[in-house]
Structure 1
Amino acid sequence: MGGAKRPKPSSDPAKWEAFYAPLVKLLKNQQGQLETLLSERKFLEKWIKKQHESWTANQRAYETHISELKSCLEEKEMELLMVAAKSELMVGLKHRESMVRKLKLEETEDELTDFRALFDLLTASPKKTEEPDQGTGSRRRTRSSTSKIAAPDTESKRLKLKYENLISEKNAEIAMLLKEKTFIWNQFNMLESKLTKKLKKKQAEVDQANDKFAQVHTTVEQLRSSNIEKDVTIAKLQSSNTEKDEVIEKLEARASELSQELEDLKKKSQAVVTPVLRSCKGMAVKTVKKELTAENVRPNGKGSRRSKRKGDGDDAVIIMESPPKLFTSSFRVPKLKNSSAPV
C-alpha cells in the first residue's frame, strides 16, 4: 500500500517565528512596563501615606504645644494679676497705717501744745496774784509772799517734771513712730522693687512666650501651606495614577487581544502544518507471493496530480486526486533468491 508525500513547509515556520518574535517581545515589554507602573504606584501610595501620617502627627504635636503655651500664658497672667492685687493690698494697708500714725502724731502734738499752754498759764498766775498785795505792810507782805511763792514753786516743779516726762515720752513715741515709718517705707520700697523685678521678669517671659507663639504660628502657617501644596501634589499624583490605571487597562486589553490573536495564529499554523489528505481514486494494489521478500511493480501510467491551496497564508488544504508515484523510472528490480536449496 503506497503512502503520500507530505509537503515540506520549510519557509512557513520561519515566517511565523519571525512574526511571533516581535509580538512576544512587545508583550514582554508591556508586561515589564505594567510591573514597573504597579511598583511605582505602590511606592507612591506608601510614600503618600507616610507623609500624611507625619503631617498629621506634626500638626497634632504643634496643636498640643500651642494649647500648652496658651495654658501657661493664662496661668502667668493669673499669677501676675494675683501679685498685682497683693501689692495693691499691701500698699493700701501701709498707706492706712501711715495715715493712722500721722493722726496719732497730730493728736500728740495737739496735746503737747495744750499742755504747754496750760503750763504757761499756771506759771504766769502766781505773778499776777502778787501784784495787788503790794500796798500792805512789809511783814505781812513778806510772809504772805513767801508762803504764796513756796506753794507755786513746788507746784511748778511738779508740773515741770510731769512736762519733761511727758515730753520725753512723746519724743520717744515720735522717734518710735519715725523709726516705724522709715522701716515701713523701706519695706514698701523693697517690696516695690521686688514686685517690679518680678513684673519685668514675667513681662520678659510673656514676651518670650509671645515670640514662641508667633514662631509656632508661623510654622503652623507654613505647615498649612505645605499641606495645601502636598494635597495639590497628592491630587496630581492621584490623577496621574488614574491615567496610569487607564493606560494599564488599555495595555491589558491590548495584551489580551494580542494573546487572543497569538492563539488564533497558533491554531492556524497548526492547521497549515497538518494537511488534510483525501482518499485516492483508482489506486492499484498488487499482491505478492509469500516466498518473495519484496514486490517490484512499475506503474501503468502517470496519474494526474493536483494540489490546491486555499487562502493567502490562512488555511492550506492539499488534495491528492491521483495515486502517488512509488518508484521512479531509474528504479531497478533486485535479484531474488529461492528460500529453499535444490535437491
Structure 2
Amino acid sequence: MGGAKRPESISEVAKWKVFYAPLVKLLKNQQEQIETLLSQRKSLEEWIKKHQEARTANHRLYETHISELMSRLEEKEMELLMEAAKTELMVGLKHREAVVRKLKLEETEDELADFRALFDLLTASSKETDEPDQGTESRRRTRSSTSKIAAADPESERLKLKYEKLVSDKNVVIAMLSKEKTFIWNQFNMLESKLTEKLKVKQAEVDQANDKLVQVVTTAEQLQSSNGEKDGTIAELREQLQSSNTEKDEAIEKLEARVHELSQELEGLKKSQVATPALRSCKGMAVKTVKKESNAENGSRSSKRKGDDDDAVIIVESPPNLFTSSFRVPKLKNSSTPA
C-alpha cells in the first residue's frame, strides 16, 4: 500500500514544482524589470537635471555677453558723439576767427581808401595853386601861391610818407592775415581728415560689434531651437517612462491576479485533501508497516531497504510546507542594478 501511494505523492510534488518554478521565475523577471526601470528613471532624472543646469548657465553666459556688447556699443556711440561735438566746436571757433579777421581786413581797406581820397584831394589842391595869373594880381597870386606851395610841400611830403607807411603796414597786415588764413585752413583740413579717419575706424568697430551681436543672437536662437528639440526629447522620454511604468503596473496587477488564482487553487487542493481523511489514515498505516518491516531486516539489505522506506516516509508522511495555507509568495530583495 505504501509503494502504491509513493508515486502519487511524487507526482503531486512534481506538479506543484511545475506550478511554483514559473511563478518564481516570473516574479524574479518582474523584479529585475522594475529595478531596471527604476535605475533608468533615476539616470534620466539626473541627465535632465544636468541638461537643465547647463542650459541655464549657457543662457546666463550669453545674456552677460550680450549686455557687455551693448554697453561697449553705447560707449562707442558716446565717443563718436563727443568727437563730433569737438569737431563742430573747433569748426565754429575757426569760422568765428575767420569772420573777425575778415572784418578787420574790411576796416583796414576802408581806412586805406579814405587815406587815398585825402591824398588825391591834397594833390589836386596843390596843382591848382601852380596855375599863372595875369597882371599884378597874377604876380601877387603867383607869389602867394608860391609861398603856399612852399608851405604845402612839407605837408604833402609828410602825408605822402604817412600814406606810404600806412600802405606798407596794411600790406603787412594783409599778408599776415592771408598767411593765418592759409594756416587755419590747412589745420582745419588736417583736423577734418583725422576726424574722418577716426570716424571710419569707429564705424568699422561698430560694424564689427554689430556682426558679433548678430552672431551672438544667431547662436542664441540656435541654442533655443536645440533646447526646444531637447525638451521634445525629454518629453518623449518621460512619456516612454510613464508608459513603461503603466506597463509595469499592469504586469504587477496581472502577477498579483495570477498569485491570487494560485492561492485559491492551493486552498482548493487543501480542502480536497481535508475531505479525504481515509486516504491519509491509510497512508499512516502504510508508514507504520514499512517501519516494522524495516526493523526486522538485517545487514546491508535491511539498511538499504530502511533507507528506501525512510524516503517513502518522508515523501508520504505530510505534504510539503510550500502548499500549506500559510504559504506566501516570497518578497524579492530590492537590489540596485547599474543602468
Q: TM-score range by the shorter chain?
A: 0.7 to 0.9
1:227 is paired with a residue whose SS is helix
| Alignment partner, residue 165 of structure 1 | 165
1:37 maps to 2:37: yes
1:320 maps to 2:320: no
| Alignment partner, residue 84 of structure 2 | 84
Mapped to 2, the partners of 1:178 and 1:322 lie a distance apart of: 148
| Alignment partner, residue 184 of structure 2 | 184
Q: What code does the residue aligned with 1:164 have?
A: E
Mapped to 1, the partners of 2:12 and 2:135 lie a distance apart of: 186
Q: What code does the residue aligned with 1:93 have?
A: L
Identity of aligned residues (%): 64
> Could you say which structure has the higher helix fraction?
2
TM-superposed CA distance for 1:111, in Å, is: 1.2
TM-superposed CA distance for 1:112, in Å, is: 0.9
Mapped to 1, the partners of 2:45 and 2:73 lie a distance apart of: 42
1:130 is paired with a residue whose SS is coil
Gaps of at least 5 residues in structure 2 are 298-339
Mapped to 2, the partners of 1:149 and 1:117 lie a distance apart of: 20
Contact 2:130 2:145 in 1 (8 A): yes
When structure 1 is superposed on structure 2, of 210-219 and 82-91 the one drifting more is 82-91
TM-superposed CA distance for 1:76, in Å, is: 2.1
Mapped to 2, the partners of 1:133 and 1:225 lie a distance apart of: 118
Q: What code does the residue aligned with 1:320 have?
A: C
CA distances 1:223-254 after superposition (whole Å, capped 9, x unpaired): 22222222222221221121112122223333
| Alignment partner, residue 300 of structure 1 | none
| Alignment partner, residue 109 of structure 1 | 109
TM-superposed CA distance for 1:119, in Å, is: 1.1
Mapped to 2, the partners of 1:322 and 1:241 lie a distance apart of: 57
Contact 1:91 1:188 in 2 (8 A): yes
1:131 is paired with a residue whose SS is coil
Contact 1:34 1:248 in 2 (8 A): yes
TM-superposed CA distance for 1:221, in Å, is: 1.6
Against the structure 1 CA distance between its residues 68 and 134, is the aligned structure 2 distance closer, same or farther, given a 3 Å change threshold?
A: farther
RMSD: 3.5
Contact 2:73 2:209 in 1 (8 A): yes
Gaps of at least 5 residues in structure 1 are 279-306, 309-317, 335-343
| Alignment partner, residue 26 of structure 1 | 26
Against the structure 1 CA distance between its residues 182 and 326, is the aligned structure 2 distance closer, same or farther, given a 3 Å change threshold?
A: closer
1:230 maps to 2:192: no
Against the structure 1 CA distance between its residues 230 and 326, is the aligned structure 2 distance closer, same or farther, given a 3 Å change threshold?
A: closer
Against the structure 1 CA distance between its residues 110 and 231, is the aligned structure 2 distance closer, same or farther, given a 3 Å change threshold?
A: same
TM-superposed CA distance for 1:263, in Å, is: 6.2
User: Which one scores higher on RCO, CA 8 angstroms, separation ≥ 6?
Assistant: 2
Contact 1:277 1:320 in 2 (8 A): no
Contact 2:105 2:174 in 1 (8 A): yes
The TM-score normalised by the length of structure 1 is 0.72
TM-superposed CA distance for 1:115, in Å, is: 0.9
CA distances 1:55-114 after superposition (whole Å, capped 9, x unpaired): 122112212222222232223223222322222222222112212211211111121122
Q: What code does the residue aligned with 2:180 have?
A: E
Contact 1:134 1:141 in 2 (8 A): no
TM-superposed CA distance for 1:267, in Å, is: 7.5
Mapped to 1, the partners of 2:120 and 2:134 lie a distance apart of: 23
Mapped to 1, the partners of 2:13 and 2:134 lie a distance apart of: 180
The TM-score normalised by the length of structure 2 is 0.73
Mapped to 2, the partners of 1:116 and 1:186 lie a distance apart of: 35
| Alignment partner, residue 291 of structure 1 | none
Against the structure 1 CA distance between its residues 326 and 201, is the aligned structure 2 distance closer, same or farther, given a 3 Å change threshold?
A: closer
| Alignment partner, residue 304 of structure 1 | none
Mapped to 1, the partners of 2:153 and 2:92 lie a distance apart of: 51
Q: What code does the residue aligned with 1:212 have?
A: K
| Alignment partner, residue 218 of structure 1 | 218
Contact 1:277 1:319 in 2 (8 A): no
1:13 maps to 2:13: yes
Against the structure 1 CA distance between its residues 321 and 122, is the aligned structure 2 distance closer, same or farther, given a 3 Å change threshold?
A: closer
Mapped to 2, the partners of 1:33 and 1:191 lie a distance apart of: 82
2:282 is paired with a residue whose SS is coil
Mapped to 2, the partners of 1:323 and 1:229 lie a distance apart of: 79
| Alignment partner, residue 156 of structure 1 | 156
Q: What code does the residue aligned with 1:152 have?
A: A
Against the structure 1 CA distance between its residues 156 and 94, is the aligned structure 2 distance closer, same or farther, given a 3 Å change threshold?
A: same
Contact 1:276 1:319 in 2 (8 A): no
Count of paired positions = 288
Contact 1:62 1:220 in 2 (8 A): yes
